[in-house]
Amino acid sequence: MALHFNCSPLELDEEQILDYLHVLKSQHKTPSDSFFKHTVYGLRYAYRIFGMKEMHVVLPSIERPKKLPVVLNQREIKQLLKTPKLLKHRLILAMLYGCGLRNFELRNLQCRDLDFDRKMVHVRQGKGRKDRYVPLSEMQIRGLKKYFLAENPTTWCFTGNDKTGSPAQLSSQGIQWIVREARKQSGIPKEITAHILRHTYATHLLEMGLDIMSVKDLLGHADIQTTLIYLHVAQSGRQKPFSPLDRLYGNRDVLSRS
């Protein structure tokens, strides 16, 4: 797993772990059940040793959990994006949602990876040591140009401060802090993390008409099965889901009348 991702397994999120194990299982030479058990138990042991209690890996030999991801609606996204006072923080939220970047992909983003003319972001070594391109919006480009003029970053697009107070690559904890503070100040009651903004990105793309294979490529998933979960969340398809009460009563409100 470390060789596949070219990093420590402790740096991977649950989605990457599950996606990796699912790809192994779907290959022609399927590993034995004991291979999966040893891999998962080894990961659980490592997480426990390093105090990473929030990580929970499901054995791929049994059915995946039915829990669906939390997704923000469009009004909540707009509220969240306008909440931070600092342009840098608004841009970080916009990159997580507008490009569907993972936490580590955002912190590893360099100035050279942004192509404003082509309106693309080059995500390098996102997962499985694979690169991908994702689109940039005009709004993001205007904000990033303004941010670059003010901050003049040289290598990393977004920086924090190290222990000495000098500029350094923004940490994963720093990104999550920005998301938590924005959620707290926005008053949105839903749980919000960097990965939930990625879930929202995928769901909104499907609802706006993008096909599932394109969403898979934009997310950098190795297997379509990982992407299919969003079909259960997105309000899209041949007919948008509705409540039978809307058809039964039309515009008449019989519930809130006095």
Backbone φ and ψ for 39, nearest 5 degrees, come out as: -65, -50
- Judge whether 127 counts as a catalytic residue: yes
- Judge whether 195 counts as a catalytic residue: yes
Catalytic residue among 102, 183, 199, 216: 102
- Judge whether 180 counts as a catalytic residue: no
Please check whether residue 80 is in contact with residue 72, taking contact to mean a CB–CB distance below 8 angstroms: yes
Identify the residue whose tokens are 């609802």.
Answer: 207
Catalytic residue among 97, 147, 201, 230: 230
Among residues 190, 189, 188, 216, which one has the least CA distance to residue 202? 216
Catalytic residue among 89, 90, 107, 127: 127
Catalytic residue among 107, 183, 198, 216: 198
- Judge whether 41 counts as a catalytic residue: no
Query: What is d(CA 90, CA 102) in angstroms, rounded to the nearest whole number?
Result: 16
Query: What is d(CA 14, CA 106) in angstroms, rounded to the nearest whole number?
Result: 17
Residue 123 pairs with which residues in a beta bridge? 132
For 215, the enclosing helix (H) or strand (E) is helix 212-219
Catalytic residue among 107, 183, 195, 216: 195
Among residues 210, 171, 216, which one has the least CA distance to residue 194? 171
Cα separation values, 55 from 10, 79, 258, Å: 9, 29, 50
Question: Six-digit token pair at 158?
Answer: 């977004």
Catalytic residues: 102, 127, 195, 198, 221, 230
